[in-house]
Amino acid sequence: MADSDGAADVLTDEEYKALGHWHQGDFTLQRNHFPLIFETDDESLDVGTIETCGWVVITQTCDIVNYGKRKEYVSICPIVVAPPDILKEVHAGVTPAYGKLDLAVADDHVVDFGMTATVHKRALLLLERRDGFPDDATRSVFQQSLERRYGRFAFPDWLSNGPLRQLRKRAREAHKTSGPNGNIYKAIDEFRVRGNPDLESKGSVIGFLAVVDPKKEEATTRQAIRKELDTQAGKWDWPEEYIREDEFIIIGTLDEFSGRDIKESHSVDLDFISMRSDERS
């Protein structure tokens, strides 16, 4: 085993070749226990395991084969059996806590993003590798799930528990319909929010961007989108400590927004805004 302060163990050409078969999202069912630290104090660690269905590698593919000093490990998450309510959310793509494994051996197997551990790359060579996804397109959906879980921007409570929650609820209701309101929200690819100087300081000026898909917008009109969003924004719980921009919600295609607009704003993932239990469906 390599010393943590010394040079990494050298892999043979054969080991490098075997390591190159592993990709982000690949999994093994040969290990049905997952390591965790249950308790700690000044003198010891209570290290144990929980029973799972297997391990999934979440390290990016390029980093799996990038081996060297301080690059000897990969990150893994456990495969668990999901109850029906969680499984429904996973397949709908509306939970950041779990990920879908397209080539799972059981329909109720999902990836639990709430637990992670590290494993030496050489340990992977002792395990039977299984493809987690049939192609790069489906694997990219898994990558997006990881980004949402670990890389999401944390909106302040006043925003996520007020306006964003109300926007989320309205969008969810509209998406279930095939009428004019459904067409409006289906035409909106993304909502973004910005604050000057930021989103937390009292007195900040806050504004929203609604990025529309030009093709989907053909099923509605810019005027209809404007009327709907202005109407809903008027109903939001808005603290008086924060100021709305003069043009509070700007609507446009991605090409119509500037690079500065995008860089200075944060994407709002409506699927993963916190919600009360009575809002779940």
pLDDT digits (tens, 9 = 90+) for 94-109: 787 899 999 999 999 9
Residue 56, strand partner residues: 27, 77
Global pTM reads: 0.64
- How far apart CA 49 and CA 94 sit, in angstroms, is 29
Distances in whole angstroms, Cα of residue 35 to Cα of each of 22, 46, 126: 21, 11, 17
**pLDDT mean over 242-248:** 97
For the cut 60, the answer to whether the pLDDT of residue 277 exceeds it is no
Distances in whole angstroms, Cα of residue 7 to Cα of each of 12, 16, 64, 274: 15, 17, 18, 45
- How far apart CA 194 and CA 201 sit, in angstroms, is 12
For the cut 70, the answer to whether the pLDDT of residue 8 exceeds it is no
Contacting residues for 166 by C-beta, under 8 A, at least 6 apart: 232, 235, 236, 237
Cα dihedral across residues 148, 134, 66, 7: positive or negative = positive
- How far apart CA 86 and CA 272 sit, in angstroms, is 14
- Determine which helix (DSSP H) or strand (DSSP E) holds 182, and give its type and residue range: helix 180-187
CB atoms under 10 Å from CB of 39, counted, come to 9
Q: Are 249 and 233 in contact (CB under 8 A)?
A: yes
- How far apart CA 165 and CA 237 sit, in angstroms, is 10
**pLDDT mean over 59-70:** 90
Q: What is the pLDDT of residues 188-227, one digit of tens each?
A: 989 999 999 999 999 999 999 999 999 999 999 999 999 9
3-state secondary structure of 164: helix
Q: Interhelix angle for 180-187 vs 163-175, to 10°? A: 120
- How far apart CA 106 and CA 262 sit, in angstroms, is 40
Strand pairing of 73-81 and 109-112? antiparallel
Query: What structural domains and CATH numbers belong to the chain?
Result: 13-150 (2.30.30.110), 157-279 (3.30.460)
281 pLDDT band, cuts 50/70/90, is very low
Using a pLDDT cut of 70, give the percent of the chain over it. Answer: 92
